[in-house]
Structure 1
């Protein structure tokens, strides 16, 4: 066995340590840059929210003509969803709601669905240097808030 010292990167996740304050941070800025480049979004505007509250996605936005289906078959919708999902699982829980809304339409996405995914990518461009922090001086207390709404899924 060979000691390679403390890990700085693992599976595309950068590890920050601050032992004096007992903090551990995880960031995927480099991975997000690669994702943005892959989907030609590295020069896009920077989004403020992963999904605006006034956006309503539904099955009716799916392609209905052969021309629309052909156009959407050229767009890597499922690949973009998978790339964003990796970031969400590792370090970006703030993407959960937007990703759950857009991933429902992977079987038959339309232009409106693709626009919503591009908005998530724009948000990632603005927040790529944000990182998840664990630890600190105080006891870890999880605080969670939720708003239940059964009206968000218009298809069901």
Structure 2
């Protein structure tokens, strides 16, 4: 075995270190650039949020006839949502709610669902330089946060909840 030094890049995640300030950062800028290019969004304008108040997705937006279904077969919706899920899981918890909403319609997506996926990509275009940062601390303490709605799903009236745990001032 050969020691190749500190890792700078692992499975699509770039690692930044600033030992003098005690900061470690994890970025997926390169991965996000490749995703945007794959879905022809590399020159898109940036969005302010992955999902806005009032944005609603439902089964009513699924294709209603064979012509609409045939049009949607040409759109790589599942691949786009999968790519967003990878970013969300690794370094971008800020898109979790929106990606979770998009994932509900994988089996029968409509054009409005595709537009919502592109909105998340526009948000990533404007925030691709964001990274998870962890700061050196004398005492490591895990802190958790949670939030939920009540009956927010238009299709089933089920509630949605989410949580994040923080360690060294960064999401884990």
Q: Same fold (TM over 0.5)?
A: yes
Give 3-state SS (helix, strand or coil) of 1:51's partner. coil
RMSD over equivalenced CA pairs, Å: 1.3
Residues 30-87 of structure 1, C-alpha deviation per residue, up to 9 Å, x if partnerless?
A: 0000000000001111000001121110001000111100000100000001101111
User: In 1, distance between residues paired with 2:102 and 2:139?
Assistant: 36
Cα displacement (A) at 1:138? 5.6
User: In 2, distance between residues paired with 1:32 and 1:116?
Assistant: 17
Question: Mapping of 1:95-106 within 5 angstroms?
Answer: 95-106=95-106
Cα displacement (A) at 1:2? 0.8
User: In 1, distance between residues paired with 2:149 and 2:104?
Assistant: 17
1:119 maps to which residue?
119
Cα displacement (A) at 1:89? 0.7
Q: Does 1:85 align with 2:111?
A: no
User: In 1, distance between residues paired with 2:119 and 2:107?
Assistant: 20
For structure 1, the 5+ residue unaligned runs are: none
Q: Does 1:17 align with 2:14?
A: no
Larger RCO (alpha carbons 8 Å, 6+ apart): 1
Q: Normalising by structure 2, what TM-score?
A: 0.86
Across the two proteins, how many residue pairs are aligned to each other?
A: 155
Choose between structure 1 and 2: higher strand proportion.
2
Q: Normalising by structure 1, what TM-score?
A: 0.94
For structure 2, the 5+ residue unaligned runs are: 157-172
2:169 maps to which residue?
none
Question: Mapping of 1:1-156 within 5 angstroms?
Answer: 1-137=1-137, 139-141=139-141, 142=143, 144-146=145-147, 148-156=148-156
